[in-house]
Amino acid sequence: MKAALAFLLLPLAWVSFAFSSIMPIPQQSQNGNEWRQTQRTDPVRGEYTRYSVAGKFIKSPPGDESGRPLLVVDCGAYNRSHKSKFFRGILVVGDPLKIDWVEPEEIHGISYFPKVDAVYRLNDAKEEKEEWTPSTDKTSASFSKGSLEKMLRAHTVEITAQDTNGSPIVMQFGMPDPTPVEQGCEVDEHKK
């Protein structure tokens, strides 16, 4: 009886082995992280695509440490060419960030702009300091297309900002394959 059962199961085992050797195994990105893609709708811009990648806190904000920082890239066809293009990059921290009031280059009356000082390092290279625009709730900040293009060329991105008390918040992102963002947002990874 056992010999007959083994005789019947042997062809099934060979077929499954042959099938598994023919089928390619899906490749994970180098660091196990991938861009998450979602479709969204905005009353002004209409439909757009959001790409996001989660990072980790190296030095987390005080309080709830269960959250993870996110890099978010929004791309949509809200333009005359109707091609999907980059329109916003966002660092989502989740806790309020320190806001500096920056004097504009050209003054028309009394006006200052809120900015978040962000320092980022690509692949442990030299730090780059920029001023990013905070969100209304001050828990995230927007970055430019130029900053995104630099980040897409990196394997790791470390970003430092300050919380409302001036304490540093350090985040690290393992950058996945940039192809989905490059194609979906018309972002040139190789542009210098």
pLDDT, tens only, 29-45: 444 579 999 999 888 77
Which residue type is seen at 168?
P
Summarize pLDDT for 116-143 with one digit per residue, the tens.
Answer: 999 999 998 999 999 999 999 999 999 9
C-alpha separations of 6 from 3, 9, 14, 16, 60 in Å: 5, 5, 12, 15, 57
Q: How confident is the model at residue 55 (pLDDT cuts 50, 70, 90)?
A: very high
Q: How confident is the model at residue 68 (pLDDT cuts 50, 70, 90)?
A: confident
pLDDT, average across residues 153-182 = 94
pLDDT at 106: 66
User: Which one is predicted more confidently, 103 or 19?
Assistant: 103
Report phi then psi at 4, rounded to 5.
Answer: -65, -40
pLDDT, average across residues 109-121 = 84
Q: Which residues, including other chains, have CB under 8 Å from residue 59's CB and lie 6 or more apart?
A: 168, 169, 170
Closest by CA position to 56, among listed 192, 130, 186, 159: 159
- Residue 145, token pair as written in the block: 């297309």
Domain boundaries, the chain: 26-185
H helix runs in the chain, sequence order: 2-22, 145-152, 179-185
CB 103 within 8 A of CB 111: no
Q: Which residues, including other chains, have CB under 8 Å from residue 105's CB and lie 6 or more apart?
A: none
pLDDT at 144: 94
pLDDT at 66: 64
Evaluate whether the domain defined by 26-185 bears CATH number 1.10.3470: no
Report phi then psi at 117, rounded to 5.
Answer: -75, 120
